[in-house]
Structure 1
Amino acid sequence: MKTYHPLYIGLFVLLLTTSCTIVRQGEVGARRTLGKIHPQIAVPGVVGFNPFTTAIIKVPTRTINIEVRMPLPSKEGLTIQSDVSILYRVEGRQVPRIVETIGRNYEEVVILPVFRSAAADITASYYAKDMHTGQRAAIEKSICELMTSRLLDRGFTIESVLLKSIVLPPGLSQAIEEKLEAEQDAQRMEFVLAKQRQEAQRQIIEAEGIRDAQKIINEGLTPMLIQFKSIEAFNRLSASPNSKVIVTNGQTPMLLSPQQLD
């Protein structure tokens, strides 16, 4: 059996290990041969190549989070400090073109400058207080849409832009808090007034009901009805087994008990 010199074996192993690489899940590879980028991408798996003429440039295609702290201009000319998260990903099929035209430091070259420009354009249309209230979601969406319109054709997808913290100037922050407290007090007072109006309306309705009932009763008490009711009372008294004395003027009976006669 033919044997090989250990030096040859070592060179073979070295050549074998340096002529292949592993592209992991969530990334693709761009093949560069003698300075030229091939348009085909290397998909996840083991990729073989000639280490003397070719290199595999790996680019992540999973979602990447960039943390940025920057001042944002407001409509009234104030500067608002903010911590921002930019969630983006690279389109795998565009990796060769990105590596060829931009390079591997595409975050500093393209994404961050586009973000700074888009953020300044959007926030300059809003008041500082809007960044601290319910308008924040609208600002985030507008920045994301503007960045997408500028970067999608270049191979980048902006998933979202998140304004995580907004630091307002001390005077403005206090003014906003005082305004919010005043609005809450006004809403609370409006609730109390509405409740009082409802109670007053209830009392009016109750009084009108009592008035209408009394009016109906008064209109129904005619002399003939009163005389008829008196005759009914005489009949019920006469049928009673108890001893009693009835004093009447012929219209209204008055009942006296034996104790009252003693």
Structure 2
Amino acid sequence: MILFIVLGVILLIVSLVLKNNIRPQLQLSKNFRIASFVVIGLGIFSSMFKQIDAGKIGVKSLYGSIQPDILESGLQIVNPFMTVTDMTIQTQNYTMSATHDEGEKQGDDAIRVLSNDGLEVVIDLTVLYKILPSDAPKILKTIGIDYSNKIVRPITRTRIRDNAVYYDAIALYSTKRGEFHQRIVKTIEADFKSRGLILEQLLIRNINLPNSVKATIESKINAEQDAQKMTFVLQKEKQEAERKRVEAQGIADYQRIISSGLTDKQLQYEQIKAQKEIATSNNSKIIFMNGKGNAPVIISDK
């Protein structure tokens, strides 16, 4: 738009200059004047159309005055003297990390907080958020387009520090981590909403404790694992002792039943059956000889 209007004005000035000169140039002056009006008209006409890309909205302003309505994505017809600022309504992220070049800020940008027991805890996190489309004009008017550094960053860091003081360092690291996460999400979400932003998700990526606390936790975990291992061993030994007791009881019961149920005639019958099986075997040659007592003597040539 501006290019066409500037070009048209230049042509109009040229036509006026030519008009004031010698007569043969009057026709040329007239042509320049017509061309200038055409170019200015094209500039104004083209400026009436504004293309809003997908995932964005347009916020209109007229001579610095922000308009309350917004332009949706697509081709829109606007006042040619209106300024349109594109603002994204897609999900954005803001990372604060101790790792160099990982977050939005260079260097160590992790959040350092003091826990309830006076220890310093380092928290890495990522904030996922987006603009509430209906509040985009208010954001542009009161905050500007740099809302990530003016709203997202300071509110997140402040609310995390405010809520961390209610927990011990070990609780933040382990048992109360979920509760702490829910608490900060609730407070940050309310602050964002009042400023036209929507908190989609707060990702606590890492919680680093002082080295002394880490050593204490590791020692505690190792002790608990050793205790669990010993409990397993004792339980296994008790089960093995119980198995042996049941086995011994079974053997004793078997012997008692056998001793009370067998008679001399049954024993003699069992001996005859065994001798018969030996006699019919292909691998042995058996000679029976009378011995002392009731039981015969068996001699083999093998």
Query: What's the TM-score bracket when you normalise by the shorter of the two chains?
Result: 0.7 to 0.9
CA contact (8 A) 1:49 1:55 kept: no
Counterpart code for 2:184 = I
CA contact (8 A) 1:140 1:160 kept: no
1:229 aligned partner: 267
Q: What per-residue deviation string (whole Å, max 9, x for no partner) do you get for residues 78-110 of structure 1?
A: 121222211111121222333344443333443
Provide the secondary structure at the position in 1 that maps to 2:241: helix
1:244 aligned partner: 288
Residue 30 (1) aligns with residue 59 (2): yes
Residue 178 (1) aligns with residue 216 (2): no
1:45 aligned partner: 74
1:86 aligned partner: 127
Residue 253 (1) aligns with residue 295 (2): yes
Matches of 1:231 and 1:203, distance apart in 2: 34
Q: What per-residue deviation string (whole Å, max 9, x for no partner) do you get for residues 33-52 of structure 1?
A: 34443332100123343454
Q: What per-residue deviation string (whole Å, max 9, x for no partner) do you get for residues 45-72 of structure 1?
A: 23343454x3223221111101222212
2:242 aligned partner: 201
Counterpart code for 1:148 = E
Moved more, 101-110 or 62-71: 101-110
Matches of 1:62 and 1:233, distance apart in 2: 95
- Equivalent of residue 21 in structure 1, options 50, 54, 59: 50
| Aligned positions of 1:20-169 closer than 5 A | 20-52=49-81, 54-68=82-96, 69-133=110-174, 135-169=176-210
Matches of 1:171 and 1:36, distance apart in 2: 57
Matches of 1:83 and 1:95, distance apart in 2: 29
Provide the secondary structure at the position in 1 that maps to 2:290: strand
Q: Could you say if the C-alpha distance between residues 127 and 245 of structure 1 is closer, same or farther in structure 2, counting changes exceeding 3 Å?
A: same
Counterpart code for 1:44 = S
CA contact (8 A) 1:87 1:161 kept: yes
- Structure-2-length-normalised TM-score: 0.68
Unpaired segments ≥5 residues, structure 1? none
1:11 aligned partner: 40
Matches of 2:240 and 2:247, distance apart in 1: 11
Query: Following TM superposition, by how much is the alpha carbon of 1:175 offset from its aligned partner in structure 2, in angstroms?
Result: 2.2
Q: What per-residue deviation string (whole Å, max 9, x for no partner) do you get for residues 98-143 of structure 1?
A: 3344443333443333322321233223322344447545433432
Structure with the bigger percentage of strand: 1
Q: Structure 1 vs Structure 2: percent identity of aligned residues?
A: 27
RMSD: 3.4
Counterpart code for 2:297 = L
Counterpart code for 2:111 = M
CA contact (8 A) 2:287 2:298 kept: no
Query: Following TM superposition, by how much is the alpha carbon of 1:159 offset from its aligned partner in structure 2, in angstroms?
Result: 1.4
CA contact (8 A) 1:88 1:158 kept: yes
- Equivalent of residue 253 in structure 2, options 195, 212, 229: 212
Matches of 2:300 and 2:211, distance apart in 1: 92
Matches of 1:237 and 1:176, distance apart in 2: 74
Provide the secondary structure at the position in 2 that maps to 1:253: coil
Report how many aligned residue pairs link the two structures.
251
Q: Could you say if the C-alpha distance between residues 112 and 226 of structure 1 is closer, same or farther in structure 2, counting changes exceeding 3 Å?
A: same
Provide the secondary structure at the position in 2 that maps to 1:31: strand
